[in-house]
Amino acid sequence: MPRTTKADLEAERLLWRAGFGPAPGEAKRLGRLGRRRAVEQLLAPKGRALGGRPARIDGGPLDPVNAYGHDVLWWLDRAARTRHPLAERMTLNWHDHFATSNEKVGDVKLMMRQYWLLRNYGLGSFRALTKRILRDGAMQMFLDLAGSEKGSPNENFARELFELFTLGVNNGYTERDIREAARALTGFTFDYDTKRFGFDPDRHDRGVKRVFGKRGRFTPEDIIDLAINHPKHAPYLCEKLWHYFTPLPVPPRTLKQMVSTYRRSGTEIRPVLRIILTHPSLYADLTSPHQVKPPVVYAAGMLRRTNTRIADESWIHLLDEMGQRPFHPPNVAGWDQDDAWLTPATISARFDAASMLVQKRVKDGSISASQSPQRAIAAARKATGDPQISKRTALAMQRYAVASVKGRTDDWEVKHYFPERQRVLRHVLLAGPDAQVC
């Protein structure tokens, strides 16, 4: 087995935190660049966005618009095949931040349009991104912007804009600010017959509003600017971004640095990510990881590690049961991260996911009784992308590799139990406790 260096471990950590884990050989390649250049490559990806072959279900391509759950498979497939890991991961992060659920929107096309918005603009200016989100059909449906009109403004979007998208709960605004902002956010329309979103000046409240102590005939875009120019915005957003990459607290000096970089750049996201991804915190405790892999990262990661393309609809239900179904966040606050991912039920779904990648891979009768425990372990590691494991897992695997075939000497036993050993060893490498964290 090739020796694992610190650079490999760092690259592996980076690919998990800022992407969906390494494909075989990817960590080694990235590790050779060194931390800084590796991060630059992620920040400015070049070439084709996707590698490998696209998912196929029942011999046909995915049909995200019409087939139940294929929207989820479509997202997972892109994550599993991405060659632009950070851009793809940030799309998932923004989907959590600007959480919009098709449970309410009820239109996959609108949801996919929002996906492309987040994917195409997710590394640029946050101000521009938020202004696009304001005009995004799925969001307008989800938070009742479309149809909100002068005289009876709907407060939903205004509230979440402050509470979740730009400032944080109870962080520098009042109920009155929400009500006034909601007035400024009136005028958006949706025509059910033509399926068109629009803006009707006659339905927009052109009166003077008072938001954050400022008075004016604010337009919807003005409200976004007011929120983003609010002194509490930059620290809130920078800290939130930080926590997408590490559960460790952000050092006050780093936060200050991020905030001033963010402001100086005119709300650019890339420079903030650069600070986070090159920060020593991200590479702390390389052999004792802090982050629980979010389900989409975990699932895409196991597909990448095993070079597998999606060919089974079970992934829809598995992701659902793991607690993260793209296009269906649990609420407008997105998904609870870290150990909130883990319950006996979600861990059993994570366990089942590995079964998908183990079954029908090793046929009975395909391994002879001469295979040593060491060879069995080496083969399992190779088949699963040679993941990092703890000493305890390594020891438990060695014991299992010996005990599982002990006394299995009859022909039928050899035929079944040597392959069974291989299935179980792969399974624990894919879903064991070590595989859940990064």
Partner 1 sequence: MTAPRRDGCNDWRMTRRRVASQAGRMMPIPADALDGLAEFERQGGLTRKNLLERGAGLVLMAGAASALGPRAILESAAAQQAASPNGAILVSLYLDGGNDFINTFIPITDPQYRQRRKRIAIPADQILPVSGSSEFGWHPSMSGIAGLYDQGKVAVLPAVDYAQPDQSHFNSQGYWQRGVVGPTLDRTGWLGRTLDLIGTRNNPLQGVSVSWGLDPTLIARKAPIGTVYEPSYFGLGIPEVWDGKGFTKLYREAARGSHSRARQAVSQAYNNAFRMVDMLKPLQGDPNKLPPTPVEYPDSYLGKGMRNAARILGAGLGTRVLSLSRGGFDTHDDQPDEHTELLKDVSDSVTAFQADIQARGLADRVVVMIWSEFGRRPDDNDGNGTDHGAGGGLMLVGNRVNGGIRSEFPGLTSLDSDDNLKVTTEFRTVYASLLESWMGVEASKILPKMDSRRLPLIR
Q: Which 135-154 residues touch partner 1, going by CB under 8 A?
A: 140-144, 146-147, 152, 154
Cβ at position 32, least distance to partner 1 in Å: 27
| Contact assessment for residue 268 and residue 124, using Cβ atoms and an 8 Å cutoff | yes
Q: In angstroms, rounded to a whole number, what is the distance separating the alpha carbons of residues 149 and 224?
A: 18
Q: Pick the closer one to partner 1 by CB: 23 or 334.
A: 334
Q: Pick the closer one to partner 1 by CB: 120 or 348.
A: 348
User: Is 199 a residue that touches partner 1 (CB under 8 A)?
Assistant: no
177: left (phi over 0), alpha (psi -120 to 50) or beta: alpha
**Residue with tokens 């962080």, as numbered in its chain:** 171
Q: Pick the closer one to partner 1 by CB: 338 or 410.
A: 338
* Amino acid identity at 280: P
Interface of this chain with partner 1, residues 9 to 38, rule: CB under 8 A = none
Q: Pick the closer one to partner 1 by CB: 94 or 142.
A: 142
Stretch that binds partner 1, among 16-24, 184-192, 213-221, 274-282 (CB under 8 A): 184-192
Stretch that binds partner 1, among 43-51, 88-96, 167-175, 373-381 (CB under 8 A): 167-175
Stretch that binds partner 1, among 262-270, 272-280, 380-388, 430-438 (CB under 8 A): 430-438
User: Is 326 a residue that touches partner 1 (CB under 8 A)?
Assistant: no
Figure out which of the listed residues 220, 289, 326, 373 binds partner 1, where binding follows CB under 8 A. Answer: 289
User: Is 344 a residue that touches partner 1 (CB under 8 A)?
Assistant: yes
| Contact assessment for residue 39 and residue 274, using Cβ atoms and an 8 Å cutoff | yes
The structure tokens listed for 329 are 């966040």
Question: 253: part of which helix (H) or strand (E)?
Answer: helix 252-264
The structure tokens listed for 371 are 């295979």
Cβ at position 273, least distance to partner 1 in Å: 22
| Contact assessment for residue 77 and residue 316, using Cβ atoms and an 8 Å cutoff | no
Spatial neighbors of 102 by CB under 8 A, at least 6 apart, are 71, 108, 111, 138, 327, 328
User: Is 346 a residue that touches partner 1 (CB under 8 A)?
Assistant: yes
Q: How far apart are the first and last CA of the chain?
A: 21
User: Is 390 a residue that touches partner 1 (CB under 8 A)?
Assistant: yes
Relative to beta strand 188-191, strand 196-199 is: antiparallel
Stretch that binds partner 1, among 87-95, 119-127, 271-279, 329-337 (CB under 8 A): 329-337
